[in-house]
Amino acid sequence: MGVIVAVTGTNGKSSTVNFCRQIWQSMEHAAACLGTLGIIAPGIHRAGSLTTPDPVTLHAEIAELEASGVTHLALEASSQGLDQYRLDGVHVTAAGFTNLTRDHLDYHGTMEAYLEAKLRLFREVLVDGGVAVVNSDMPYLKAVHDVCGQRGIRVIDFGRKAKDIRLSKQHPLTDGQFIELIIFGERYELELPLVGDFQVSNALCALGLVLAADPDNRLLHMQGVYALERLQSVRGRLEFAAKHPNGASIYVDYAHTPDGLETMLKALRPHTPRKLHVVFGCGGDRDRGKRPMMGEIAVRFADVVIVTDDNPRTEDAAFIRSEVMRGCISAGGSATPQKYTEITGRREAIRTAIRHLKPDDVLVIAGKGHEQGQIVGKEVLPFDDVNEACAAVLEVSK
């Protein structure tokens, strides 16, 4: 394989690797991405079950892609995958770090251990002479710089505070946003066809990983900017799902962490002329500490909140909802119960939310994104948020 890049971080990995694939394809490279959404490559679109597969499966998939003619691959590097050495032996030439916020503490125990797992990508997996692409706006930036400095790894930074790929201007458009970039000292203006601040960040990380092949090549910079203007949103990542008959917009997003939920709601606010609605829940058998945090965040950043079921797994769904609602009450108080409500059953919650949308409202259905099923007990029941939203819109259209 000619070029393999890997992306780690709490949020944004799936979008970033997919954006890498799209940028490379615009440059006429045979490109692929591999991760939570499975494998996407020319002639191949296969669902996956793990963000980072086990080593045997991963190397077999890389070999299959190479045999099919793929020359450029972007793959997701999860903290568990890095901690379990699943990426060891992969020739990673550039590594990206999107962000780091609370998640997977049921596995890692502490944020320090979570960070250390992520840093393995830069300390041990990235090849000598490779390039690190790092978010300049994240609080753990120094830790990444320290690891790269010890190895003599070049760092390309991106973001509002960056010196290499800097976001200097930004304002929302109806279906995207205008941005101005300073790329290694050169100024570029473009319309990015994606909604939300975090999508800009993901796109810039992807651009940095593509430019890592030849960072000082100005023609490559121009090709990358041209490709950014043609990016398509990724399945379940702030994906436009449907339009209500009255014009209200409905999105589906994978946000399932406190930071992910806050970032996504803040991203949608500039594109919301009237009220911002959110439907979400929390998964069972996972980090309980984030449940009230997410309830509090939803009430703080949305106008109308419906708490429902995510993947309850083997936990009691009503108990999970009660823990989320505790955060809603903490943030909103008992005096404003009309702002948040609890609805049993995700399908009914989505239908209720869509029935109550007014013109110029925006609804986001959060937590499951691209997932095609809902885990209840030990069963996986067919369920797709986009399909459910479309079905609910048809109902109100009759």
pLDDT of residue 224: 97
Helical ranges in the chain per DSSP H? 13-26, 55-67, 79-83, 105-108, 111-120, 141-151, 197-211, 218-228, 258-268, 290-301, 317-332, 346-355, 385-397
Per residue in 353-372, pLDDT (tens digit) is: 999 999 999 999 999 998 99
Q: For the whole model, what pTM was predicted?
A: 0.80
Residue 161 confidence (pLDDT): 95
pLDDT digits (tens, 9 = 90+) for 174-223: 778 999 999 999 999 999 999 888 899 999 999 999 999 999 999 999 99
152: left (phi over 0), alpha (psi -120 to 50) or beta: left
Q: pLDDT class for 299, splitting at 50, 70, 90?
A: very high
Enumerate the CATH 3.90.190.20 domain ranges in the chain, comma separated: 239-397
Burial status of residue 382 (CB atoms within 10 A of its CB: 0-12, 13-18, 19 or more): exposed
Q: Which amino acid is at 385?
A: D
In the chain, which residues fall in CATH 3.40.1190.10? 3-228
* Residue 336 predicted with pLDDT over 60: no
Instruction: Return the percentage of the chain with pLDDT > 70, whole number.
Output: 96
CA 388 to chain centroid = 21
- Mean pLDDT for the chain? 93
Please determine, for residue 47, whether its predicted confidence score (pLDDT) is greater than 80. yes
Superfamily (CATH) of domain 3-228: Mur-like, catalytic domain (3.40.1190.10)
pLDDT digits (tens, 9 = 90+) for 94-143: 999 998 876 666 777 788 898 999 999 999 999 999 999 999 999 889 99
Among 98-112, 145-159, 271-285, 370-384, the minimum mean pLDDT is found in 98-112
Residue type, position 266, single letter: K
Residue bearing tokens 């993901």: 202
d(C-alpha 240, C-alpha 41), whole Å: 23
The pLDDT of residue 334: 61
Determine how many CB atoms are found less than 10 A away from the CB of residue 376.
16
| Domain 239-397 -> CATH class | alpha beta
Hey, is 249 helix, strand or coil? strand
Neighbours of 237 (CB within 10 A): 27
- Cα angle vertex 127, ends 125, 131, to 5°? 105
Proportion of the chain above pLDDT 90, given as a percent: 82
